[in-house]
Structure 1
Amino acid sequence: MNDTPGWTSPGSAPSDGQDGSGVPRPATPGDANGSAPQWSKDQPPAGQWSAPSAPVPGQSTPPQPTAGWGGPGRPGGWGKPPAAKPGVIPLRPLGVGEILDGAVTTLRTYWRTVLTISVTVAVISQVAELLAQRYLVPAPPKLNPDATPAEKLDHAMDSMQSSLIGLGPAFLIMLMATLVSAALLTVVISRAVLGRPVSVGAAWQEARPRLLQLLGLTLLLPLMSAAIMFVCMLPGLLLGGSGGAALAGIGGLGGFVLVIWLMIRFSLASPALMLERQGIVQSMKRSAKLVQGSWWRIFGITLLTQLLIFLVAMIIAIPFATIGIAAEGDGFSGILSGSDPDFGWTFLIITGIGGVITSAITYPISAGVTVLLYVDQRIRREALDLELARAAGLPGYTSGS
């Protein structure tokens, strides 16, 4: 068995303890210790180089050699054909635009499967949130106009606490729905890389055995973040007073930076868990190994993706919110008068439709970028493009005997 992890789609064996040392390099008679080279028997076709020949009359330069492997821009390549592209991405290291384009192409090419998953999840989430806002979140108590600043602060804190308690059940439903969506979309996108469509039922069969572990990972990361923030702010909270508040602020800022660093470090744990059948801890270690040395690049791509998703959400949400307020009749007048308008079913339903449309578009893009970042890092570190070419059945990439 070679040291390079193969393309492990759901249902295949995991890969542990891999690093960049497994990337194929030119063959040598043996390793330093005299043993045989430890890499796959199946390598790309050898370059078909032609020997230099005398110039043809009327031709200023001799014929250039041609190669049977590689793509434009690869080191040492002269006139090489473009990289193979059996699915939504070319099988080579990806640029930022190619990662975003691959996520959008997956949504456009396999829209039936992708939208079936994302729309179903979005509808469940929005209905849960709508019902929670209407029936579970208590109406805020009336505030005395002559209330002191301390009373106003207490009123605001009580309202926030009541809202969080009321939205708790909706949040759990949204968490489970988003979890299922991420798992199914990971399977769909992993097949899209190979150019193979997959039905919702098949995706569910592949993802179902991993859902409990994915839930554990999804809960572990925010709990870990909250614990870090609490520990960093604890000295200031214990000290109290203005000095304690300043110390808590500094500790909170340091904790926030540490949380961001850890979230990017473990950002590829979810696809590693799903596609390599890793456990929770093993998938986090796998993500840390893949992200090592590329933290800033992955952070930049993730930040850019979230900004684009935010812009898309605002472009869709603002018109629906405006229509919902106008449909309430006295919604605008209530807002302009400074009072707290009591929005009814009309507003909630209209804004809920906007939320469904937003989620149906943004869920696949967010999941697609995460999975394609994982694929890109493995291509860069572990020559996964060779395994993908074999899995896609491309000519010249036969499986080892």
Structure 2
Amino acid sequence: MQPVQPAWTQPLPPAHKPGAIPLRPLGLGDMLDGAFRLVRFNPGATVGASVLVAAVAMAIPLGVTAAMTFTGDSLDFLGTSLEDPAYTPGTSELVGMVTAFGSYVVGAVLQGFGMILVSGMISHVAHAAALGRKLTLGQAWSATHGKRWRLVGLATLFAVFGVLSWIVAAVPVVVLAIVVDSPIPAIVVGLAMIPVLVAAWIFASTRLYLLSVPSLMLEQNGVFGAIRRAWNLSRGQFWRLLGIALLTTIIVGFASQIVAFPISLVGSVVAVVAPEYYVLATLGSSAIAQVIAAAITTPFTGAVTNLQYLDQRIRKESYEVELMEQAGLLSR
């Protein structure tokens, strides 16, 4: 009797490959290679879109801080305090600091909003790339028409879920702190809640949110329909989806830090050498680093996520047949 080979030594079956990925169940290598191919094949609608959004958003704090730096002394507080720790800021300086860092928060919020829309564009770019087709930036944007607010609503829904989770977890801690004289029970319960919240967030992100964005963009689903679809597609695949998502996060995080570190270092040096430009150098270097990180993080992470979506449909629904029909490899 022939010995049965372990499943992991079996090679994946040959498949048609009209675009960035082979049209068969995808392995980890297929997804990472496909993500690189997708971004390289269509940089305008992936990297270009991410950089454009981040640059416009970060231009707000950069412009506000530069204008305040070169037109007055309202941002001299931090630089002056480096030379004189006993220095006390005036009202105008405090207002200036709040304005400068507030503009950075506004820019970050706008960037986050824009990246939600970019993630929807990447869903269409990834689907087209799997078929060997290339979308321009304008075509990718047009493809999201009619679903942009649904995409924002989906992201907002999960953000609200996260906030409510923390509030619910904080209630027993606050109650214990008020009712019990000793702070120890409140501290113990609070520490116990942290891993529970982290686990709940990971579970919800993997089972409910990860695949809901491509489902919303590529199928005829509403917000809750996309969530149900993500739940069904991720059934029995939690650890696989989570592992690939975590690995992708580590890869893009490491790459973006390597690229952004020199910029942050230059900003720190300028802040020390020229204290009068401390705020401008700090916020400016951070804004530029954000743009560079966006050029790496959003396109690659979005590409892998959408390839995971295609992989699950191929595994569970034989979606490769429909993809081959769309690519013109099979006749209907």
TM-score, normalized by length of structure 1?
0.67
Say if 1:314 and 1:168 are closer, same or farther in 2 by CA, change over 3 A. Answer: closer
Q: 8 Å contact 1:132–1:167 — kept in the other structure?
A: no
Which of 238, 243, 249 does residue 295 from structure 1 map onto? 238
Can you list the C-alpha shifts for 1:243-281, whole angstroms capped at 9, x where unaligned?
Answer: 112112212321221121111112100000000031000
Q: Report the CA distance between 1:103 and its aligned residue.
A: 1.0
* Structure 1 CA distance for aligned equivalents of residues 201 and 100 of structure 2: 26
Aligned residues: 298
Aligned counterparts, 1:289-328, within 5 A: 289-328=232-271
Equivalent residue for 1:16? none
Is 1:260 paired with 2:202?
yes
Amino acid at match of 1:380: R
Which of 107, 125, 135 does residue 188 from structure 1 map onto? 125
Equivalent residue for 1:170? 107
Identity, in percent, stands at 29
Which of 27, 33, 43 does residue 95 from structure 1 map onto? 27
Q: Report the CA distance between 1:167 and its aligned residue.
A: 4.7
Equivalent residue for 2:90? none
Q: Report the CA distance between 1:206 and its aligned residue.
A: 1.1
* Structure 1 CA distance for aligned equivalents of residues 285 and 167 of structure 2: 38
Is 1:389 paired with 2:324?
yes
Say if 1:346 and 1:253 are closer, same or farther in 2 by CA, change over 3 A. Answer: closer
* Structure 2 CA distance for aligned equivalents of residues 382 and 322 of structure 1: 50
Q: Report the CA distance between 1:347 and its aligned residue.
A: 4.7
Q: 8 Å contact 1:328–1:346 — kept in the other structure?
A: yes
Equivalent residue for 1:248? 190
Q: 8 Å contact 1:232–1:254 — kept in the other structure?
A: no
* Structure 1 CA distance for aligned equivalents of residues 288 and 106 of structure 2: 20
Equivalent residue for 1:213? 150
Amino acid at match of 1:296: W
Q: 8 Å contact 1:236–1:251 — kept in the other structure?
A: no
Is 1:109 paired with 2:41?
yes
Q: Which runs of 5+ in 1 are unaligned?
A: 1-71, 75-79, 147-160, 335-340
Q: Which has the larger radius of gyration?
A: 1
Q: 8 Å contact 2:272–2:278 — kept in the other structure?
A: no
Q: Report the CA distance between 1:359 and its aligned residue.
A: 1.2
Say if 1:214 and 1:164 are closer, same or farther in 2 by CA, change over 3 A. Answer: farther
Can you list the C-alpha shifts for 1:90-144, whole angstroms capped at 9, x where unaligned?
Answer: 0011111211111111111122333321221121232234357777x9978x8xx
Is 1:235 paired with 2:178?
no
TM-score, normalized by length of structure 2?
0.80
Instruction: Indicate the structure with greater helix content.
Output: 2
Q: 8 Å contact 1:128–1:174 — kept in the other structure?
A: no
Q: 8 Å contact 1:133–1:167 — kept in the other structure?
A: no
Equivalent residue for 1:204? 141
* Structure 1 CA distance for aligned equivalents of residues 224 and 111 of structure 2: 24
Which of 119, 127, 130 does residue 59 from structure 2 map onto? 127
Say if 1:208 and 1:83 are closer, same or farther in 2 by CA, change over 3 A. Answer: same
**CA-atom RMSD, angstroms?**
3.0
Equivalent residue for 1:358? 293
* Structure 2 CA distance for aligned equivalents of residues 247 and 164 of structure 1: 34
Equivalent residue for 1:274? 217
* Structure 1 CA distance for aligned equivalents of residues 315 and 229 of structure 2: 15
Say if 1:177 and 1:132 are closer, same or farther in 2 by CA, change over 3 A. Answer: farther
Q: Which moved further from structure 2: 222-231 or 350-359? A: 350-359
| Relative contact order, higher structure (CA 8 A, sep 6+) | 2
